[in-house]
């Protein structure tokens, strides 16, 4: 699978160190579409704090990816659903920690979650 970042520089706002406009994927053999994943423990409980929920989300995503014989290096798209715009910076920081130097298209949207104690939900697309 080949990847190419697409970041036009003329007539559009600039990409940032943790953001790209698009990612072209050529020749993926498999694609994995992951449902919105919450910061829930194995018993389905959400901890009170945002940091703990974000850690659980990314651990849960890694488990899902592992079950598909993939890693965070296979992620090609991230969509975050936040209950408040105030959560954006911590969410961004958690994504950057999880992905390291990898940059993929990402969107964060402020929504109301199905359960009030779910502060963030993240869905991903992965390709191999």
Mean pLDDT of all residues in 24-32: 93
Q: Where are the domains of the chain?
A: 19-127
At 81 the pLDDT is 98
At 92 the pLDDT is 97
Place of tokens 């992951």: 34
At 28 the pLDDT is 80
At 36 the pLDDT is 95
Mean pLDDT of the chain: 96
Asked if the model's pLDDT at residue 72 lies above 90, the reply is yes
At 113 the pLDDT is 86
Query: Which residues, 6 or more positions from 119, have their beta carbon under 8 angstroms from its beta carbon?
Result: 39, 46, 50, 53, 82, 83, 84, 87, 113
HSE-up (13 A, CA, CB side) for residue 53: 24
Mean pLDDT of all residues in 34-51: 96
Mean pLDDT of all residues in 38-60: 97
Mean pLDDT of all residues in 24-42: 95
The class level of CATH for 19-127 reads: alpha beta
- pLDDT tens for 78-115 read 999 999 999 999 999 999 999 999 999 999 999 998 88
In contact, 6 and 20? CB cutoff 8 Å: yes
Mean pLDDT of all residues in 18-44: 94
Asked if the model's pLDDT at residue 33 lies above 90, the reply is yes
């Amino acid at each position: 699978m080949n990847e190419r970042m697409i970041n036009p520089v003329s007539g559009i706002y600039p990409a940032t160190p943790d953001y790209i406009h698009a990612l072209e994927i050529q020749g993926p053999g498999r694609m994995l579409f992951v449902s919105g994943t919450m910061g829930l423990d194995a018993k389905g409980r959400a901890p009170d704090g945002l940091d703990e929920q974000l850690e659980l989300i990314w651990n849960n995503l890694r488990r899902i990816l592992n079950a598909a014989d993939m890693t965070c290096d296979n992620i090609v798209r991230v969509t975050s659903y936040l209950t408040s715009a105030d959560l954006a910076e911590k969410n961004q920081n958690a994504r950057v920690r999880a992905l390291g130097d990898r940059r993929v298209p990402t969107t964060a949207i402020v929504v109301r979650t199905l359960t009030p104690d779910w502060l963030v939900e993240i869905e991903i697309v992965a390709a191999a």
